Amino acid sequence: MKTLLISSLLFLFISISFAQGPITKGTFNLDGTISFSSISYVGADYNVETILLSPQVGYFLVNNFSLGLAVSYQKVSYDENSESDWGIGPNIRYYFVLNNINPFLGIGYSYAENTRNTSEYKITTDRIIFSGGIDIFVTKSVAIETLLSYMINESKYPGGYSSRNDSIQKSKTIYFGVGLNIFI
């Protein structure tokens, strides 16, 4: 058992040491992250913890620069209520190639629709997402990704929504995530 563990760690170390990511023009990437956040609402005295699943597909238009499309699913539970939303939107990323560790910066937009278990109203949200992270290649085409995202949210509530005085609520969200990025 001890030999198997040492052999596995040695293999992982060698793979990481010699792997190099294909972040070149014409490459596709499939990415999926799971993120956690703490949301602080402007004008409110509470925080909400959230989980976000976000798969995306990207295409490298030129070396180190990708254009992508992300889909997201967010689940929030607090008090006796729960809510979830689905979102979709474009993003761009620029990678800084440093052998097998490739930091990146990105920006994106997402349009999301929210449903709550206590309401028939549909709440829509526009999001601007700033992100940064590191892809650590464990093979030539597979990377483990760490991600830090900052979202600026603007949620629009429909007329007649009982618990809201304002029709627009702004919030900011910070997410920390981990995932897998596959380059094809």
Q: Give the pLDDT confidence of 11-45 residue by residue, as tens digits.
A: 444 444 444 456 889 999 999 999 887 766 677 66
Question: Which of 9-13, 107-111, 113-117 has the least mean pLDDT?
Answer: 9-13
Do 105 and 92 form a contact (C-beta atoms < 8 A)?
no
The pLDDT of residue 97 is: 87
Count the alpha carbons within 13 Å of 140 in the hemisphere toward its beta carbon. Answer: 3
> What pairs with residue 35 in β-bridges?
52, 177
Residue 57 lies in domain: 2-183
User: pLDDT for 50-93, tens place per residue?
Assistant: 888 999 999 999 999 999 999 999 887 676 667 888 999 999 99
- Judge if pTM exceeds 0.85: no
* Phi, psi (rounded to 5 degrees) for 169: -125, 130
Q: Is the pLDDT of residue 8 over 70?
A: no
How far apart are the C-alpha atoms of 167 and 159, rounded to whole Å?
7
The pLDDT of residue 79 is: 63
122 CB-near residues (< 8 Å, 6+ apart): 113, 114, 115, 158
The number of domains in the chain is 1
74 CB-near residues (< 8 Å, 6+ apart): 50, 51, 52, 53, 84, 85, 87, 112
Q: Can you give the CATH number for the domain in which 153 is found?
A: 2.40.160.20
